[in-house]
Structure 1
Amino acid sequence: MKWSLNAMAKWASGRFIGPVAISLAVLVLVVSELGFHRQQGISVNREASIEAQMIVGDLSRALLFMESAERGYMLTDRHDYLAPYLEQERSFQQILASAEHIAAGNEHLREKLSQLVELARQKHSEMRTVLERFDAGDRDGAIELTLTDMGREMMVQISTLAEQVIREESHGYTQTSLDRDRVLRASRVGIWVLVIVCVVGAVSLMRLSRNREAERRVAMLQLHAERDRLDEEVVRRTAETIELARHMERVREDERARLARELHDELGGLLTAAKLDLARIRKRIHDDTGTKQQLVDHLGQTLDAGIALKRRIIEDLWPSSLSNLGLRRTLQIQCAEFSQRAELPVDAVVDEVTLAPERALAVYRLVQEALTNVAKYAQASRVRVVLRRLHDQVEVLVEDDGKGFDVDATLLSGGHGLQGMRFRIRACGGDVVIRSSPSRGTTVRAVLPV
């Protein structure tokens, strides 16, 4: 059960770790972007609140400066007291336009700002009327208008509205500051939580990767151990197969030798006895016509051909000349007999080489099989057989100028003779290379140690 849970955990982590990592990254971006946009909105509100307070304050100060300058001018009749009025009047219209713009974009301040702007226009109009009367020489009318409660009431209303706007905007500014702090804290907490989750996920992924790496190493060690075991098994089985094949080859050669001895001893004795009997019969026949003598001669020729056939079969089964005359002379005889039977010129270049009996027999069988293939399939006009020593190795070549063949296709389709040649030489520690192609002849090259 524990193994199953671990396997399920590994499967789930391996299956979902990628999507989870992507989701966490997306969440970090989302939290960051939400916090940024929220703070951006709060900053815009804070700036609008500060701008509204500044405009209201500027409007109140401008009216106060203008009213003070107006009264100073009327009391002293000096134009330098009128300079602040004129200076504030130039920026007064800009302040009113800014206040109207803020009122158009701020719904909850629209009504109060509109009232404030309207009262400021009326107060400005009242101050201009007073100055116009004063400049026109109607000093008493101007003072009387100034002393009325209308101007004072308008300034009280303006101050009251300005204080309300500033108080409300100060409260809104404080609230937006609190909102900003909350958004900052929430963003930081969210990002920290996601970062912690990411770190935990990264640590888990690292542990999972280490576990998988350890499992992979264990699996590789097991795989290498299994491969080494299989290699050893293959080597052992190959050695057993080669030894078995060698044994079977020895058994076959022994059986050939036994058959050769049987043919030589039994059939050879019978044929020799028949030949002697025929010689005695020939001496006792008296035939004037010669017919009986011809029959006896023909029978003698038939016995000679049978004896020759018996000798050739025995030599094919077991080359007695190999143990009596040596490898060089045996190959020369083999090439000469093949040239006579196949009616093909054979160029035999055979050096004196001393080999173990098993290897000498392998060379003889190789040349025998190669020459047999030439006679059967090659349609050659010339054959070359070479036996020579190369340092501590012996090289055997059998070349013909025949029609050639596809080596790979022949081996795949059977080619037991070619496979037999290779096995004989490889069993002796050598190797065989067969080069051939259609219309390009064939070369059989074998190299084996001395």
Structure 2
Amino acid sequence: MNWTKLRRMAISLPLAILAACLMISINEYGYKQTNQSLTNLTHAYDTRNAVSSLMKEMLDAETGLRGFLLTGDENYLQPYNDAIKSINQSQDRIRTLLQRSPESMKLFVPLSRSISRKTAEMDLSLRLFREGNADALKFVMFTDMGNKDMGNIRELSHQLVALETQEANAYHQNVKSSVFLARVGVTTVTLIGLLAFYLYLRQHNMVERLHKREQALQLEERSRLEQLVRERTATLTELANHLQQVREDERGHLARELHDELGALLTAAKLDVARLKSKIDMLNPEVTDRIKHLTETLNSGIALKRRIVEDLRPSSLANLGLPTSLEILTSEFAQRSGIAMEANFEAVELPDATELTIYRLVQESLTNIGKYAKATAIQVTVHKYPTYVAVQIQDNGEGFDLASIRPNSHGLAGMRHRVEAVGGRLTINSAIGEGTTVSAVIPVGTTAVETLTPA
């Protein structure tokens, strides 16, 4: 760092510290002055409002009493009684507010005396009216003492309000002075801060340019990594599709081999047994039992071969179509497992890859139900819509927690990959004790993505 930059830092830092100290000092001084002035201003407004409220209560009391004396209606006494109760409280409140102002207390003392005399005069008038002493009441009503006291109350109240208003104006002027001084101080400190900021900016620009260059490098590296991830993902997806297709091809080849070679051997063996039955003495019980057992064993082997071949590559799917092959699959599963089965399959026309995907999805789901679900009822449906096919396999078994699925649960991952490979979407809903629902939505027609083709 050269001497010029060092000198700039040596100047900008003390200026920034000085500006901060000045700002704090001015702010604290202005706060204290303004707070004190606002407190005094609030006190003056409270006093003025209290005096106005007292004057209103005196007028309410006088008006209510006159209405009662003129009409004899007890309803007029309600404002009088309320006002009499509030007058003493208002006087106490005003006395508390005026304790620190001797000049105001000089006005409040005669005001309080006049109020006492006026309230006593109104109380005497009310008592004489209730006693029916009309002569004494007329004497009290036509004397000038009540009007004189009320005039004194008005005059002293106006003087007290005017005095408090004068003090409020003085406090308000103090607030304006404090605000003006704060404005001047803030402006001065702001100029000092701007000067320090200007000296700092030139150094900060270099750091900002370096930061932007680093951000650009990071963005470039992130883009490169994202592109690499996309390429690797595409490669792995293509490899998974290829392996899936190879697996299906191997299953088909093995199914053909079992059907042709093993089927021929078992058929030949069954024919040989039939020839032996015609050559030997079937009256011998032991020979008859042996031949019968051998025939049943060959029939079981042929049935086992047929089931294995159908599991490897369902011939019914190519010969009879998807709905029929699914009916055969579900009915055979219901017979083997003893679970009640409800199936509903609508006729659909789909590419071979999509039909095989739906068949494998239902087959894998039924296998999982038979192994783990402990269900007593299963519902399998295939519904056709204008643009997609909806497949659902639902059971009432024990269910499982979706969050507890292990990463190495390749069965569910394989089902999901099969569905996504033809452009579909797989959804699994399950909860412990509430069964499991496997749902797939697969597009039809040209929207289907037929990716299970040989690489």
* TM-score higher than 0.5: yes
Q: TM-score, normalised by structure 1?
A: 0.57
SS in structure 2 at match of 1:394: strand
Shift of 1:272: 0.5
> In the alignment, is residue 406 of structure 1 matched against residue 412 of structure 2?
no
Unaligned runs of 5+ in 1: 33-193
- Judge conservation of contact 1:435–1:443 (CA < 8 Å) in 2: yes
What corresponds to 2:202 in structure 1?
207
Note if 1:418 corresponds to 2:412.
yes
Note closer, same or farther for the CA distance 1:18–1:369 as it changes in structure 2 (3 Å cut): farther
Report the CA distance between 1:238 and its aligned residue. 1.3
Query: Is 1:433 aligned with 2:430?
Result: no
Q: Deviations over 1:351-401 (max 9, x none)?
A: 111111111111111111100011001111100111112331111100000
Alpha-carbon distance between aligned partners in 2 of 1:341 and 1:19, rounded to the nearest angstrom = 87
Aligned to 2:383: 388
Does the aligned pair in 1 maintain the 2:19–2:192 contact within 8 Å? Answer: no
**Offset at residue 251 of structure 1 (A):** 0.7
Across the two proteins, how many residue pairs are aligned to each other? 280
The answer to which structure, 1 or 2, has the higher relative contact order (CA under 8 A, 6+ apart) is 2
Question: What CA distance in whole angstroms lies between the structure 1 residues aligned with 2:190 and 2:437?
Answer: 75
Once the two structures are TM-superposed, the CA of residue 346 in structure 1 deviates from its matched residue by 1.2
Which residues in structure 2 correspond to 1:239-278 (within 5 Å)? Answer: 239-278=234-273
The answer to whether residue 351 in structure 2 is matched with residue 374 in structure 1 is no
Matched, 1:284 2:279: yes
Task: Specify the SS of the correspondent of 1:432.
Answer: strand
Q: Is residue 444 from structure 1 mapped to residue 438 from structure 2 by the alignment? A: yes
Distance 1:208 1:433, change over 3 A: farther
Counterpart amino acid of residue 412 in structure 2:
L
Gap change, CA 1:27 and 1:252, over 3 Å in 2: closer
Given residue 431 of structure 1, which amino acid in structure 2 is its aligned partner?
R
Alpha-carbon separation, structure 2, partners of 1:323 and 1:287: 43
SS in 1 for 2:354: helix
1:298 aligns with 2:270: no
Kindly state the Cα deviation for residue 415 of structure 1 after the two structures are TM-superposed.
1.6
Task: Give the Cα–Cα distance (whole angstroms) in 1 for the partners of residues 225 and 298 of structure 2.
Answer: 60
Distance in 2 of aligned mates of 1:317 and 1:311 = 10
1:405 is paired with a residue of what secondary structure? coil
Question: How far apart are the structure 2 equivalents of 1:407 and 1:383?
Answer: 20
Q: 1:21 to 1:445 in 2, by over 3 A?
A: farther
- The aligned runs of 1:214-225 (5 Å cut-off) are 214-225=209-220
Distance in 2, matches of 1:381 and 1:416, equals 25
Counterpart of 2:18 in structure 1 is 24
Superimposed CA distance per residue, residues 305-327 of structure 1 (whole angstroms, 9 cap, x where no aligned partner): 00000011111111121111111
Q: Which residue in the other structure is 1:318 paired with? A: 313
Shift of 1:27: 7.7
C-alpha displacement of 1:291: 1.9
Q: Residue 346 and residue 371 in structure 1: after superposition, are their counterparts in 2 closer, same or farther (change >3 A)? A: same
Whichever residue aligns with residue 297 of structure 2, its letter is: T
Stretches of structure 2 lacking an aligned partner (at least 5 in a row): 27-188, 445-455
Q: How many angstroms apart in 1 are the aligned matches of 2:261 and 2:321?
A: 26
Cα distance in structure 1, aligned partners of 2:274 and 2:287: 13
SS across alignment from 2:405: helix
TM-score by length of 2: 0.56
Shift of 1:201: 3.3
Q: How does 1:143-222 map to 2 (within 5 A)?
A: 201-222=196-217
Counterpart-to-counterpart distance in 1, 2:23 and 2:245: 83
Report Cα offsets for 1:408-434 as digits up to 9, x if no partner. Answer: 21244x221111100111111111110
Computed over aligned residues only, the root mean square deviation of the Cα atoms, in angstroms, reads 3.1
Larger radius of gyration: 1
Report 1:102-141 matches (<5 A): none
Cα drift, residue 292 of structure 1: 0.7
Give SS of 1:365's match: helix
Q: 1:390 to 1:218 in 2, by over 3 A?
A: farther
Per the alignment, residue 328 of structure 2 pairs with 333
Mapped to 1, the partners of 2:21 and 2:322 lie a distance apart of 89
Q: Is 2:331 the counterpart of 1:348?
A: no
Native 8 Å contact 1:411 1:419 kept in 2 = no
| Alignment-mate amino acid for residue 402 of structure 2 | V
Asked if the contact 1:411/1:418 (under 8 Å) is kept, the reply is: no
Q: 2:326 and 2:252 mapped to 1: Cα distance?
A: 19
Q: Return the offset for 1:213.
A: 4.2
Contact 2:422–2:442, Cα closer than 8 Å, also in 1: yes
Supply the distance in 2 between the matched residues of 1:317 and 1:308 (Cα, whole angstroms): 14
Q: Which residue of 2 aligns with 1:167?
A: none
Which amino acid is 2:423 matched to?
Answer: G
Rounded Cα–Cα distance in structure 2 between residues aligned with 1:379 and 1:27: 77
Contact 1:380–1:403, Cα closer than 8 Å, also in 2: yes
Instruction: Determine whether 1:361 maps to 2:356.
Output: yes
Using a 3 Å threshold, how does the CA distance of structure 1 residues 294 and 28 change in structure 2: closer, same or farther?
A: closer
* Cα separation, partners in 2 of 1:400 and 1:27, compared to 1, 3 Å: closer
Mapped to 2, the partners of 1:329 and 1:398 lie a distance apart of: 17
Matches of 1:17 and 1:266, distance apart in 2: 97
Query: Is the partner of 2:380 in helix, strand or coil?
Result: strand
Q: Deviations over 1:118-137 (max 9, x none)?
A: xxxxxxxxxxxxxxxxxxxx
For 2:270 and 2:292, locate their aligned partners in 1 and report how far apart those are by CA, in whole Å. Answer: 11
Distance 1:18 1:326, change over 3 A: farther
1:116-159, Cα deviation, whole Å (9 max, x unpaired): xxxxxxxxxxxxxxxxxxxxxxxxxxxxxxxxxxxxxxxxxxxx
Q: Which residue of 2 aligns with 1:49?
A: none
